[in-house]
Structure 1
């Protein structure tokens, strides 16, 4: 069984957000997928199994801590790898079936790498925090709140608490405590801190141990939120930035369509191909 190392939201190799992709994970149990993700120490790994049609695959995404119902950069990276394996020089379209939704991804070659864009569907808007609640979350990151805009839970498959902070607050942010219980009460999974003026953000795992480099599942909610705040126009292409504070600057392309569908895309680079020496059955 082979697996691949890719960089997503990366203009060049060894930038953007790293990812492990198992292009054919048949024979691996969920427990084995979780164990392999911990072994590889990527922020996320994605495991594919062929579907009924050549361009359809089921997919499961894991962090070192848990399986996720949806994630952005693994979906784009997986689609780019499928293009490399099956599509040649032509543009292609793929469907990935995750736990809670099926995603359509368009891919093409771009320079030495690939460009992938997914349709995340329409965003759903959840709880709007009071200023007191928003201040509490900002304090959990030793950050300072940007009171011009509301903090709100928004989702395109994975719910984020979008928390506007000042530029200094973003630069100095450091998660001080576990937030699982507080986020559960709001119906959110993660906090995404935003410098609204710079269109730049940061997010961590709920325990605050690992900072993500480029978060495609947050980019869709941020795009929809910015549109709702009058900061972007329908159909306008714009970029979100992330990863600068962990020395992996990344850019995420986003657009909200006339019909409300949110598109998220970026460049993907192939880095390595490796062989799993353990038999899948031995990992059950």
Structure 2
């Protein structure tokens, strides 16, 4: 099996969010896909299969713990690899992915060996606004105090593929971490899969696996809901470019660009980032 290691949300290698992209030559059991992901030890690995009758590439995405129904930076990174392999003579490529029965549209632009990839994450789902009587417990699970949550902005659950609990934090972003051993169950009470904490002024953000052991560097699936949140709460405008910062606390500072467009009364969220190639090779199993 051929694999590629790319860095996403950065214009230079060995920065941004690393990703492994694998092309299985035959169907593999879920257990093998998970073990391959664990062997690479990236936050996520994406597996790409042969194009279907709709010209879409079926993909599966794994963390070291589980399969995800959607993720941002793996889709962007995989798009650059596909552009390089299948559309190498073209400066612009339009790519379709099929993930969990959902079709995702990608536009990839190539310039001097760097790929600028944009994903349409579709219409956001505003799942719920959290009542303030839950703030104390939310803060405790994140190692902060209730008054560290910025009361000028709501805590909300929003999804563009994965539902995130979006928590605005004023001054103690550096202190945030997951304190609850049953954090995934805690989040499920709000209809969320993961948490995304952010400073509303700087748009510096953080998220982790639900065990709290690994911090993600740059999270496209969380950036989309945050863009929708910022527009909904009038911090940003329709079609305004939003620069989201993440990875500072793990020494891999990254920038995710996003915006929200509107047509015919329908909003769509777009996420964009640069991708660079670091390595490639073969998996010998």
Short-chain TM bin: over 0.9
Backbone CA RMSD of aligned residues: 1.3
Residue 235 of structure 1, aligned match among 214, 225, 239: 239
Give the aligned partner of residue 220 of structure 2. Answer: 216
Residue 204 of structure 1, aligned match among 204, 208, 223: 208
State how far apart, in whole Å, the 2-side matches of 1:54 and 1:114 are: 24
Displacement of 1:159 after TM fit? Answer: 0.3
State how far apart, in whole Å, the 2-side matches of 1:187 and 1:27 are: 33
SS in 1 for 2:192: coil
Q: Tell me if structure 1 keeps the 8 A contact 2:178–2:210.
A: no
Give the aligned partner of residue 137 of structure 2. Answer: 136
How big is each residue's C-alpha offset from its partner over 1:160-192, in whole Å with a ceiling of 9 and x where there is no partner? 0000111x3211212212311111111110010
State how far apart, in whole Å, the 2-side matches of 1:117 and 1:239 are: 14
Q: Tell me if structure 2 keeps the 8 A contact 1:83–1:92.
A: yes
| Aligned residue-pair number | 277
State how far apart, in whole Å, the 2-side matches of 1:266 and 1:106 are: 11
Q: Tell me if structure 2 keeps the 8 A contact 1:70–1:100.
A: no
Residue 154 of structure 1, aligned match among 158, 161, 168: 158
Give the aligned partner of residue 172 of structure 2. Answer: 169
Displacement of 1:87 after TM fit? Answer: 1.2
Residue 188 of structure 2, aligned match among 177, 184, 188: 184
State how far apart, in whole Å, the 2-side matches of 1:141 and 1:81 are: 36
SS in 2 for 1:196: coil
Given the two structures, how large is their TM-score scaled by the length of structure 2? Answer: 0.94
State how far apart, in whole Å, the 2-side matches of 1:174 and 1:152 are: 19
1:276 aligns with 2:283: yes
Give the aligned partner of residue 225 of structure 1. Answer: 229
Given the two structures, how large is their TM-score scaled by the length of structure 1? Answer: 0.94
Alignment of 1:1-284 (within 5 A): 1-52=1-52, 55-88=55-88, 89-143=90-144, 144-166=148-170, 168-178=171-181, 179-259=183-263, 260-278=267-285
How big is each residue's C-alpha offset from its partner over 1:77-104, in whole Å with a ceiling of 9 and x where there is no partner? 0001001111124201001000142100
Displacement of 1:277 after TM fit? Answer: 1.2
How big is each residue's C-alpha offset from its partner over 1:13-34, in whole Å with a ceiling of 9 and x where there is no partner? 1111010101345332222111
